[in-house]
Amino acid sequence: MEFRDALAADGVVAIVGAGGKKTTAFALADRIPHAVVTTTTRVPDLTAHLSTFRMTDDPRAAIEAATDFPVGVVAGEYRPGHYRGYDPDTVAGLRDLADAVLVKADGARGREFKAPKEGEPPIPANTDTVLPVASVGVVGDPLSEDTVHRPERVAALTALATGDTIEPEHVAAVLAHPEGGLKNAPEDATVIPVLNKVDDQERRDTAEEIAAEIHERADVTRVALTSHVRDDPLVAVR
């Protein structure tokens, strides 16, 4: 199975969680003839990864005028090199302009793992695919702000307390939880959890364990194992 097919990257694709959202979006954009990359939250610099980049209050017009894809559109800067996103309804209205609209629909401040707070994630109502992402590299780390964004939310969805070791079952519990990786996913959307940074055999074994646990907890089509140190990011589909 090809990377794009494994992640069902057609229509509006909302990428949430932590540990590889932007990397996943860019890897998909490179493999889709007419892809748009945008956000419903804040995002760091996108310019190096896109053929066309626009800060604009009219993303439809910017995409319609573009001749080189992938196209990135953001609402504006909130500080140098960091951009504001659009409201979910605005992003929903871009669906007809591209093969895929890849939406960073969550923030994690560079951490490897997270659970959403109240009001997150801002997912467009017409989203076709939701990709909840987590880095398998978080397994074995203590639950703390060093590697986890909103550790108190992860604690609320698991049996963990601050300082406890994160195990595969805890990653699976968050990704498969209605208030975790499944939160705000439209009822008819396809949800495909993505276990990222599966960069060696040890991490693959960990990811296989997490994937099996996700299938025990949630009715998802499949789980994708990915590594962006490879030419082909798709390691396996479970």
Instruction: Identify the band that residue 20 occupies on the pLDDT scale cut at 50, 70 and 90.
Output: very high
Q: What pTM does this model have?
A: 0.97
Instruction: Report the mean per-residue pLDDT for the chain.
Output: 96
CA-CA distance, 79 to 20, in Å (whole number)?
22
Which residue type sits at 191? V
Decide if pLDDT at 110 tops 90: no
Question: How long, in residues, is the chain?
Answer: 238
Instruction: Identify the band that residue 213 occupies on the pLDDT scale cut at 50, 70 and 90.
Output: very high
CA-CA distance, 71 to 53, in Å (whole number)?
6
At residue 95, the pLDDT reads 98
Decide if pLDDT at 165 tops 90: yes
Instruction: Let me know: does 127 contact 106? Beta carbons within 8 Å.
Output: no
At residue 109, the pLDDT reads 86
CATH 3.40.50 fits 3-237, yes or no: yes
Decide if pLDDT at 118 tops 80: yes
- Which residues is 131 bridged to in the sheet? 15
Decide if pLDDT at 15 tops 90: yes
CA angle 2, 231, 136 (to 5 degrees): 80
Distance of CA 54 to CAs 22, 46, 132, Å? 17, 10, 26
